[in-house]
Structure 1
Amino acid sequence: MTDHRGTFEHACLDEPRREHGYCTDDVARVLVVTTREPDPSGEVNRLAGVSLRFLNEAQSLGGACRNRMDSAGNWTDEPSLNDCWGRCLWGLGTAVACSDVVWVRKSALVQFERAAKVRSPWPRAMAYAALGAAEVLSAQPDHRAARKLITDYAVSLPTPNDSADWPWPEPRLTYANALLAEAIIAAGVALEAPNLWQRGLDLLGWLLDIETSGDHLSPTPVGGRGPGDVGPAFDQQPIEVSSLADACARAAAVDPAARWIDGVRAAASWFTGSNDSGEVMWNPETGGGFDGLHADGVNRNQGTESTLAVISTLQHAQRISLLQR
Structure 2
Amino acid sequence: MTAATPAPIFDHLLRMTDHRGTFEHACFADPRPEHGYCADDMSRVLVVAARQPKTEGDVRRLASVAVRFLNEAQALTGACRNRMDVAGRWADEPAFEDCWGRCVWGLGTAAARSEVGWVRQSAIVQFDRAAQGRSIWPRAMAFAALGAAELLTVDPDHRAARALITDYAATVTEPSSNPAWPWPEARLTYANAVLAEAMIAAGVVLDSPPLWQRGLDLLEWLVDYETADGHLSPTPVAGRGPDDRRPGFDQQPIEVSTLADACARAAAVDAGAIWTAGVRAAAAWFQGANDASQPMWDPETGGGFDGLQANGVNRNQGAESTLAVLSTLQHAQNFSTVPQ
Compute the TM-score of the two structures, normalised by the length of structure 1.
0.99
Structure 1 unaligned runs (5+)? none
- 3-state DSSP of counterpart to 1:283: coil
* Within-5 A mapping of 1:245-284: 245-284=260-299
RMSD of aligned alpha carbons: 1.0
Counterpart of 2:317 (choices 294, 302, 309) is 302
Counterpart of 1:41 (choices 46, 56, 74) is 56
Is 2:175 the counterpart of 1:160? yes
Q: Using the alignment, how far apart are the partners of 1:79 and 1:324 within structure 2? A: 47
* Within-5 A mapping of 1:209-248: 209-248=224-263
Q: Using the alignment, how far apart are the partners of 2:71 and 2:338 within structure 1? A: 35
Q: CA deviation at 1:162?
A: 2.2
Q: Using the alignment, how far apart are the partners of 2:165 and 2:125 within structure 1? A: 17
Q: Using the alignment, how far apart are the partners of 1:245 and 1:42 within structure 2? A: 27
Deviating runs (4+, > 3 A) in structure 1?
322-325
Q: Using the alignment, how far apart are the partners of 2:256 and 2:133 within structure 1? A: 30
Is 2:145 the counterpart of 1:126? no
Aligned residues between the structures: 325
Contact 1:217 1:274 in 2 (8 A): yes
Contact 1:86 1:124 in 2 (8 A): yes
Q: Using the alignment, how far apart are the partners of 1:323 and 1:214 within structure 2? A: 23
Counterpart of 1:66 (choices 78, 81, 85) is 81
Counterpart of 1:113 (choices 111, 128, 131) is 128
Q: CA deviation at 1:323?
A: 5.6
Q: Using the alignment, how far apart are the partners of 2:338 and 2:217 within structure 1? A: 24
Indicate the residue corresponding to 2:36 in structure 1. 21
Q: Using the alignment, how far apart are the partners of 2:229 and 2:175 within structure 1? A: 28
- 3-state DSSP of counterpart to 1:239: helix
Q: CA deviation at 1:159?
A: 2.6
1:263-282 Cα shifts (integer Å, max 9, x gaps):
00000000000000000000
Indicate the residue corresponding to 2:18 in structure 1. 3
Indicate the residue corresponding to 1:32 in structure 2. 47
Q: Using the alignment, how far apart are the partners of 2:126 and 2:52 within structure 1? A: 21
Structure 2 unaligned runs (5+)? 1-15
| Identical aligned residues as a percent | 71
Indicate the residue corresponding to 2:185 in structure 1. 170
Is 2:109 the counterpart of 1:94? yes
Q: CA deviation at 1:2?
A: 0.4
Q: Using the alignment, how far apart are the partners of 1:238 and 1:138 within structure 2? A: 28
Q: Using the alignment, how far apart are the partners of 2:115 and 2:18 within structure 1? A: 22
Counterpart of 1:83 (choices 95, 98, 114) is 98
